[in-house]
Amino acid sequence: MAALLGPAGSVALPAATAQAAPVDITCLTGTRNTAYTPPLTYTPGPASLQITDHFSCVSLLSGVSSGSGSYTVNLPSTSCLASVQSPLSSNTATYHWNNGTSSTIFFASSTAVRAVDGTVTVTSIGAVTSGLGLGQTATRVTVEPNLDLTACLTGGLSETNSVLNTLIIAPV
C-alpha cells in the first residue's frame, strides 16, 4: 500500500481526459450549390466540385438555428451517366453556426447515386473532429436534380442546386 502513496501520502491518479459536451444539431432544411470544374458531360473524367451548404437547424442544447460552409471535393472520375460511386473520397467540411461556434466534420464515408434523370443523391457519414459536437456522429444527405437536361449534351453541366440538404450531429 505504501508504494501507491506519493510524497505527501496522497494517491497519484491519472489526469482526467476532457469530454465534449453532447449537442443535438438537427438541420432538416437546407440548400446546396455544387459547381463542377470542368462541367460534367457524358464522358467520364476528373472533376473538382466546389460545394456550398446552408442549413436551418434546431438544437435544444447548443442554440444553433442556422449554419453554412463551403469546401472542395476532387473526384478522379465522374460524369452525367447514371452511376453509383462508393466509396467517394473522404472530405472535411467546416460549418459555421449562427451562435459564433463551428464544427469541423471528417466525412470518411460517402456514396453518390446518379439516377438516369440526372438527380444525384449523396449520403455522407462522419465524425466531428473539432468544435461544437466534438467526437459525435454526423450524417448528411443531399438530393440535387439536374434541371438542365440538355446541358450534358451541349457545353456540360456546370452546377446543380439541391432540393433537399440535411445534416444531423448527435452523440454516438
**Cα gap 84→74, rounded to integer Å:** 16
Cell numbers for 145, please give them: 436534380
Q: DSSP states of 11-32 as a string? A: BP-PPPPP-PPP--EEEEEEEE
Which residues, at least 6 apart from 138, have a Cβ–Cβ distance to it below 8 Å? Answer: 103, 105, 107, 124, 125, 126, 127, 128, 167, 168, 169
Domain count, the chain: 1
Residue 15 forms part of a structural domain? no
If you search the block for the grid coordinates 460517402, which residue do you land on? 110
In a domain, 69, yes or no: yes
Residue the block writes with cell 444527405: 141
Determine, yes or no, domain membership for 13.
Answer: no
Print the domain residue range for 141.
21-170
Residue 62, CA distances (Å) to 15, 21, 144, 145 in order: 27, 10, 29, 32
Nearest Cα residue to 122 out of 132, 111, 114: 111
10 occurs within a structural domain: no
Residues across the chain: 172
User: Which band of pLDDT confidence, cut at 50, 70 and 90, is reported for residue 2?
Assistant: very low
Q: How far is CA 81 from the centre of its chain?
A: 24
Q: In this predicted model, what pLDDT tens digit does every residue of 53-82 receive, in sequence order?
A: 999 999 988 899 999 999 999 999 999 999
Q: Is the pLDDT of residue 49 over 90?
A: yes
The CA radius of gyration of the chain, in Å to the nearest whole number, is: 21
pLDDT digits (tens, 9 = 90+) for 133-151: 999 999 999 999 998 989 9
